[in-house]
Amino acid sequence: MIFKNKHLELSQPHVMGVLNVTPDSFSDGGQYTSLAAALGQARTMVADGASIIDVGGESTRPGAKEVSEQQELDRVIPIIESISAQIDTIISIDTSKAVVMSHAISAGADMINDVAALQMEDALDTAAGLDVPVCLMHMQGAPRTMQHSPMYQDVVKEVVEFLSARCKACIDAGISSEQIIIDPGFGFGKSVQHNIEIMQKLGSIVAENFPVLLGVSRKSTIGAILERPVEERLPGSLALAAMAVSAGVKIIRAHDVKATLDAIRIAFAIKNYA
Ligand code: YH5
């Protein structure tokens, strides 16, 4: 897959490192809201082997409040500018807002990661005009309320149908099929059982023939299965990451880059051993 001027070799799996720049970030307590700290975190993740840094200024964790456009811009633009100037990496902007997408790409971001799959106002046409790779994620409902009572007849079938329809909408809007990544949205409007079913049937999402990205890192389904608080979910996260790569997932979005890369390199080596 080609980004502005960088290439990502999708014959092998990659880690997308999470860089939260929200003051209420659940997993870093907001300690990386200052520019220097965020830049340091990005450097560490790249040194640990992350291929992509996902910069997000709008918390999409369950129950999170919505953030204004200006607030989101104030949080992400200076960080994207610094990373772009100082670190050789692919930068992803985690946003659903069209204005944030354009400013982020101008500031040096290379791709768009949208948990709303370009369904918000102007997002589809804006992304198409920017001519960068996009990750389309499935979510039932909106972040603030999505975990209230997620319901499906057949979660995997509905996720595949949704993603397939959004891929078509992107292609119709002028986005090249070569620039599309899909993501079933683990934890986004899904119960523990729904997330388990997604893990069991990842093969049917991979079979859509778009590169698949998955974010499982530290999520509450791991907490529910293991009865572990968020700070004790690394082993569970690694187990899911390895299973995902084994099923053909190409990009794992994770907080713990070094450990995740080791886990997926093992999964990939076993998967491909002749
Ligand atoms: C994703 O899966 N996730 S933000 C709740 C948690 C832990 C982690 C403690 N953005 C994804 O990481 N983008 C997020 O419980 C994402 N795929 C894509 N493409 C949520 C998150 C998290 C939420």
Taking residues 202-220, report their average pLDDT.
98
* Structure token pair of residue 201: 């049937």
- Protein residues with CB under 6 Å of any ligand 1 atom: 26, 60-61, 94, 113, 115, 135, 137, 183, 185-187, 213, 215, 218-220, 230, 253
Taking residues 35-42, report their average pLDDT.
94
Ligand 1 atom with minimal separation from the 233 CA:
9
Report which of residues 119 and 33 the model is more confident about. Answer: 119
Classify each residue of 36-66 as buried b or exposed e, where b means 16 or more C-beta atoms within 10 Å of its C-beta: eebbebbeebbebbbbbbbbbbbbbbbebee
Spell out the alpha helix ranges (H) of the chain.
35-47, 69-86, 98-107, 123-130, 155-173, 192-200, 202-206, 220-226, 234-246, 257-272
Rounded to two decimals, the pTM is 0.96
Query: Can you tell me whether residue 187 is helix, strand or coil?
Result: coil
Taking residues 98-125, report their average pLDDT.
98
- The CA distance from 110 to 53, in Å, is 10
Taking residues 200-226, report their average pLDDT.
98
- The CA distance from 18 to 230, in Å, is 15
Mutate to test the pocket of ligand 1, among 218, 228, 230 (most ligand atoms within 8 A of CB): 218
Span of 143-157, 201-215, 243-257 with lowest mean pLDDT:
143-157
CB 43 within 8 A of CB 91: no
pLDDT above 50 for 27: no
Query: Can you tell me whether residue 135 is helix, strand or coil?
Result: strand
CB 35 within 8 A of CB 78: yes
| pLDDT number for residue 61 | 77
Nearest to 195 by CA among 177, 169, 170, 222: 222
pLDDT above 60 for 32: no
pLDDT above 60 for 26: no
pLDDT above 60 for 31: no
CB 89 within 8 A of CB 80: no
Nearest to 263 by CA among 252, 273, 272: 252
| pLDDT number for residue 30 | 52
CB 217 within 8 A of CB 18: yes
Taking residues 15-43, report their average pLDDT.
78
Report which of residues 64 and 178 the model is more confident about. Answer: 178
Phi first, then psi: give them for residue 11, nearest 5 degrees: -75, -15
> Of all protein residues, whose CA lies closest to atom 17 belonging to ligand 1?
215
> Of all protein residues, whose CA lies closest to atom 3 belonging to ligand 1?
215
pLDDT above 70 for 15: yes
Residues annotated catalytic, as ranges: 219, 253
Nearest to 84 by CA among 114, 115, 55: 55
* Structure token pair of residue 2: 């080609």
Report which of residues 63 and 201 the model is more confident about. Answer: 201
Average pLDDT, the chain: 94
User: Cα(273) to centroid of ligand 1, in Å?
Assistant: 31
Nearest to 96 by CA among 114, 80, 69: 114
> Of all protein residues, whose CA lies closest to atom 4 belonging to ligand 1?
60
| pLDDT number for residue 5 | 85
pLDDT above 90 for 178: yes
- Domain spanning 12-261, CATH class: alpha beta
- Domain assignments of the chain as residue spans, ordered by start: 12-261
Rg (CA), the chain: 17
- Residue 149's pLDDT band, with cuts at 50, 70 and 90, is confident
- Residue 58's pLDDT band, with cuts at 50, 70 and 90, is confident
CB 164 within 8 A of CB 210: no
User: Cα(60) to centroid of ligand 1, in Å?
Assistant: 7
